[in-house]
C-alpha cells in the first residue's frame, strides 16, 4: 500500500493533497518564491527523517541489550548431572506472605544463587559402599545469597566419595536469618528465621524418608560453611519446631546426630568479641566438629572458639581445629595448605563417634 510522506507531492490520480489548501491552490499558478521553498522544505524534512531513523535504531539496540541481559539473569541453578531438586514444603514455604522478591536467578558467571523463595533439597547417592550415614549441606553466603558450588556441590562430591549420602539444601535467601545489610550498614535480625525453618524441615524429611534413601535415621548430620556454619549451630541447639507442622514428617526430631561447622560466623563481632546469640547451648546438642583459619578476615576465628567453649561447657563432645593460614571460604580449595587436611580429619572423627564403620 502506498504511504504518503510529509513533503511529497500527491501521486497522479490521488484525490487528496498532502499540503494545506491555503498553501497550494490548484486554480492559481505557483509564484517563484513558492517554487523555491519546495526543495528547501523537502531537504529539511529529509534531514529530520534521517535523524529520526538513527534514534529508532539506537533505541532498538538498547532494548536488545536489555532483553539479552534480562534473559541471562533469568538463568536458575540446576544440579549437575541431571539430579532432581525436591521441594521441601508440600505447598508454599511458610511465612512468605509479606515477602516480595525478584525471580530466583544466578549471579552472572557464577553458581551463586539469588532470591530463593522455593527451597529445595537435592539428594546425591553415595559412591561405592554405603555407610548408612547422611549429611545435609548448608552453603554459605551471609544469608543474602547461596554459594552452591564451592560450599555445595563440591562438598557433596567429597561426601559421596566417602560412602555418605549428601543432601544439598537450597534454603531461602536473602534476609532469612541474622545478616549484614549493605544499605543501612547495620546488622538485621529478622523476627522469622526462614533459613532455620528450611533446615529443620530438611532434617525431618531425610529422617522420614530414611528407608527410601537407604540411610540410618540415627546417622543424619549437618555440615555448613560461613553463614551455613551458624545455621548448623542453630539447628543443633534449637530443637523446638520453628514453624507449624505441615505433615507427618514434622512429628520427627530435627536434631542432627552430628554437626560440622567450617568457618562459622554470626557468633562474634568483627573485633573478636562474642555476640549474644538467639540460642543457648545445651548438652542436647550433637557431637560437633569445628574448623577455622586464624587469618580469616570475614568471620573472625572467635566464632569457632566461642562456640567450642560453649559446647564443651555444656558437656558436648567437641573437636576444634584452628589453622594459621587458609583465609575465609577455603572449603576444599586449599589442598596444598595444612588446612586442606580438614576433610580427612572429619572422616577420622566420624569413625571415632560411630557414624562411620
Nearest to 18 by CA among 36, 34, 5, 37: 5
Nearest to 278 by CA among 160, 102, 143, 132: 143
| Cell reading at 167 | 543432601
pLDDT at 64: 37
Between the alpha carbon of residue 14 and those of residues 18, 24, 25, 28, the distances in Å are 10, 15, 16, 19
**Which pLDDT score, from 0 to 100, does residue 343 have?**
98
Dihedral of alpha carbons 343, 347, 349, 355, sign: positive
* CB of 305 closer than 8 Å to CB of 313: no
CA torsion through residues 5, 6, 7, 10, sign = positive
Cell numbers placing 133: 550415614
- Pull the grid cell for residue 39: 526543495
Phi and psi angles of residue 346, each rounded to the nearest 5 degrees, phi first: -65, -45
Average pLDDT along the chain, 357 residues, taken 10 residues at a time: 37 35 36 45 56 51 38 74 94 96 96 98 97 98 98 98 98 95 90 97 98 98 98 98 97 98 96 95 98 98 98 98 98 98 98 98
* pLDDT score of 51: 58
CA distance linking residue 84 with residue 121, whole number of Å: 9
Q: Distance between CA atoms of 245 and 251, rounded to whole angstroms?
A: 8
Q: Which CATH architecture has domain 84-352?
A: 3-Layer(aba) Sandwich (3.40)
Q: Using CA atoms, how far apart are residues 213 and 179, in angstroms rounded to an integer?
A: 34
Q: In what order do the strands lie in the sheet with 145-147?
A: 105-106, 112-114, 145-147
- Quote the CA–CA distance of 239 and 201 in Å, as a whole number: 11
End-to-end CA distance of the chain: 84
Cα 52 to Cα 110: distance, rounded to the nearest angstrom = 40
3-class SS of residue 321 = strand
At residue 132's C-alpha, the angle toward residues 234 and 242, to 5°, is 25
CA distances from 285 to 20, 187, 228, 235, 340 (A): 90, 26, 17, 9, 27
Q: What are phi and psi of 292, to 5 degrees?
A: -155, 155
| Residue 52: per-residue pLDDT | 58
Residue from 106, 87, 110, 103 nearest 246 by CA = 87
Provide DSSP, 91-138.
SSPSS-TT---PPPEE-TTSSEEE-B-S-EEEEEPPSSS--S-EEEEE
Amino acid at each position: 500500500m502506498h504511504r504518503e510522506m510529509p513533503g511529497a507531492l500527491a501521486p497522479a490520480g490521488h484525490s487528496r493533497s498532502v499540503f494545506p489548501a491555503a498553501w497550494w491552490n490548484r486554480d492559481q499558478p505557483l509564484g517563484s518564491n513558492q517554487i523555491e521553498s519546495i526543495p528547501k522544505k523537502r531537504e529539511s524534512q529529509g534531514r529530520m527523517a534521517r535523524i529520526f531513523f538513527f534514534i529508532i535504531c539506537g533505541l532498538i539496540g538498547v532494548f536488545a541489550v536489555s532483553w539479552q541481559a534480562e534473559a541471562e539473569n533469568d538463568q536458575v541453578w540446576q544440579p549437575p548431572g541431571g539430579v532432581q531438586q525436591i521441594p521441601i514444603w508440600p505447598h508454599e514455604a511458610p511465612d512468605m506472605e509479606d515477602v516480595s522478591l525478584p525471580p530466583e536467578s544466578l549471579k552472572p558467571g557464577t553458581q551463586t544463587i539469588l532470591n530463593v523463595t522455593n527451597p529445595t533439597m537435592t539428594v546425591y547417592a553415595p559412591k561405592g559402599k554405603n555407610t548408612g550415614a547422611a549429611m545435609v549441606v548448608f552453603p554459605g553466603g551471609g544469608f543474602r545469597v547461596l554459594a552452591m558450588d564451592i560450599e555445595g556441590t563440591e562438598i557433596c562430591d567429597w561426601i559421596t566419595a566417602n560412602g555418605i549420602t549428601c543432601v544439598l539444601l537450597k534454603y531461602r535467601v536473602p534476609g532469612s536469618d541474622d545478616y549484614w545489610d549493605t544499605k543501612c550498614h547495620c546488622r538485621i535480625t529478622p523476627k522469622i528465621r526462614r533459613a532455620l525453618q528450611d533446615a529443620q524441615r530438611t532434617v525431618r524429611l531425610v529422617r522420614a524418608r530414611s528407608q527410601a534413601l537407604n540411610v540410618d535415621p540415627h546417622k543424619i548430620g549437618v555440615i555448613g560453611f560461613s553463614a551455613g556454619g551458624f545455621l548448623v549451630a542453630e539447628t543443633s541447639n534449637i530443637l523446638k519446631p520453628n514453624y507449624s507442622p505441615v505433615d507427618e514428617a514434622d512429628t520427627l526430631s530435627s536434631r542432627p546426630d552430628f554437626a560440622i561447622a567450617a568457618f562459622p560466623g554470626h557468633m562474634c563481632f568483627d573485633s573478636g568479641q562474642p555476640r549474644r546469640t538467639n540460642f543457648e547451648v545445651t548438652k542436647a546438642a550433637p557431637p560437633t566438629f569445628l574448623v577455622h583459619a586464624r587469618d580469616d578476615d570475614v568471620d573472625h576465628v572467635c566464632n569457632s572458639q566461642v562456640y567450642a567453649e560453649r559446647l564443651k561447657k555444656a558437656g558436648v563432645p567437641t573437636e576444634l581445629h584452628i589453622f594459621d593460614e587458609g583465609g575465609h571460604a577455603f572449603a576444599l580449595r586449599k589442598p596444598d595448605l595444612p588446612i586442606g587436611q580438614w576433610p580427612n580429619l572429619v572422616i577420622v572423627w566420624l569413625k571415632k563417634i560411630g557414624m562411620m564403620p
